[in-house]
Amino acid sequence: MIRTSRRLADGREILYFDAGDTVPERTAEDRRDLPPVSTRSQLRWDPLLGEWVVLASHRQTRTFLPPADLCPLCPTRPGREPTEIPEADYQVVVFENRFPSLATGVDRDVPPTAPGAPLSELRPGFGRCEVVVFTSEHDRSFATLGLDRVRLVVDVWAERTAELSGIDGVEQVFVFENSGEEIGVTLSHPHGQIYAYPFVAPRVEKVLASVQRYRRETGGDLFADVLAAERAGPRVVAANEHWTAFVPAAARWPYELQLFPHRQVPDLPALTAEERDALACVYLDVLGRFARRFDTSMPYIASWNQAPVHRGREDWWLHLQLFSLRRAPGKLKYLAGSESGMGAFISDTTPEDVAEQLRALA
């Protein structure tokens, strides 16, 4: 993998990643007249839930579902407006988000607490948000990228995780893809994102607490025991030498998979070359099953659960959550009163039935 670093017109970093020994020279310049990125994010502590909330009101003006000929993630080519990517073609590109929720250049001068709320600590919205563009082809999807390109994306995810983890103040790196307008995607070009949080995300905090409690009470490894049981059970959908994808026994979403490596590793950079090869294969497999389940494309979120940067790494087991809110043709699972109000999920499907459906789509 060859990495080339350049700068956009407003100073943001853009990185080109190319597979192979001979790649095009990346010299195109961004000639747009762009104002500097202005980020007014802040973190506010919810003392009742014990969680951080990010406020990013400047994102209200971000680009929203532009027509294909104005897509900011397409290459910059003659006859069309310049885009976020100055080159006329590319393989995989990563750049700093123009409308970030978190940024390293955020204003650090903030009051200690929110107005009128002395128990709600306030912090700058420090961090970094990156966009990962998987292909220059606007009408593709991740499931149709091909094995070589997916393998390159895996390496890019690992490289970015390692680099962002090295930023002072970053506590967790979150790699994810939102796919489909029903999920809330605002740009249809195939892409994902990476957030470098200045805190450990609530889900990871909760899982880590469960893992550590299980170890104290039983002396066992909760991740290992769950994986061993699922590999021997009725909900496995796909597997190879290094990875197993299964529908979790207590799935919350109508269609949900978890993808685990067979070896305990804390994050994507820790995977070997063979494990990355195997990941590309099984990931394309399960995405293809999601794509073929209904006549219309399955909206989904692919969420990599990586270890915190500074604590709990020896207890963590890297895994992917892949889930969709589509429950039937033309029907979505809405997070209504119980889910949104109380955080108590009620599922419209059974994990065993979903696993059987997805297995049948080989």
pLDDT band at 61 (very low <50, low <70, confident <90, very high): low
**Is pLDDT of 60 > 80?**
no
- Measured CA to CA, the distance from residue 72 to residue 82 in angstroms comes to 8
Q: 328: part of which helix (H) or strand (E)?
A: strand 326-328
Contacts 24+ apart (CB under 8 A), 309-316: 309/165, 309/170, 309/171, 309/172, 309/173, 310/171, 311/200, 312/208, 312/211, 312/212, 313/266, 314/266, 315/208, 315/211, 315/212, 315/215, 315/221, 316/208, 316/211, 316/223, 316/266, 316/267
Within the chain, what is the greatest distance between any pair of CA atoms? 65
Global pTM reads 0.95
- Measured CA to CA, the distance from residue 290 to residue 361 in angstroms comes to 9
For 229-249, write each residue's pLDDT tens digit. 999 999 999 999 999 999 999
For 68-89, write each residue's pLDDT tens digit. 889 999 999 998 899 999 999 9
Has 191 been annotated as catalytic? yes
For 178-226, write each residue's pLDDT tens digit. 999 898 888 899 999 999 999 999 999 999 999 999 999 999 999 999 9
* Cβ neighbour number for residue 145 with a 10 Å cutoff: 21
Domains of the chain: 2-200 (3.30.428.10), 203-359 (3.30.428.10)
Q: 178 pairs with which residues across the strands?
A: 301
- Measured CA to CA, the distance from residue 324 to residue 287 in angstroms comes to 11
What pLDDT score was predicted for residue 58? 67
Looking at per-residue pLDDT, the higher value among 35 and 158 belongs to: 158
- Measured CA to CA, the distance from residue 133 to residue 216 in angstroms comes to 42
pLDDT band at 337 (very low <50, low <70, confident <90, very high): very high
Residue 33 near residue 9 (C-beta atoms within 8 A): yes
pLDDT band at 33 (very low <50, low <70, confident <90, very high): very high
Pair of tokens at residue 194: 């990476």
Placement of tokens 């994902």 in the chain: 192
Strands 13-18 and 2-7: antiparallel
pLDDT band at 22 (very low <50, low <70, confident <90, very high): confident
Placement of tokens 């450990």 in the chain: 200
Looking at per-residue pLDDT, the higher value among 75 and 24 belongs to: 75
Q: 260 pairs with which residues across the strands?
A: 244
User: Which residue, 288, 9, 281, 339, is CA-closest to 147?
Assistant: 281
For 133-142, write each residue's pLDDT tens digit. 999 999 999 9
Catalytic residue from among 189, 191, 242, 319: 191
- Measured CA to CA, the distance from residue 261 to residue 240 in angstroms comes to 10
What pLDDT score was predicted for residue 12? 95
Report CA 212 to chain centroid distance, whole Å. 25
The torsion angle over the Cα atoms of residues 290, 293, 298 and 303, rounded to 10 degrees, is: -20
pLDDT band at 362 (very low <50, low <70, confident <90, very high): confident
What pLDDT score was predicted for residue 64? 66
Query: What is the pLDDT averaged over residues 5-11?
Result: 95
- Measured CA to CA, the distance from residue 193 to residue 174 in angstroms comes to 8
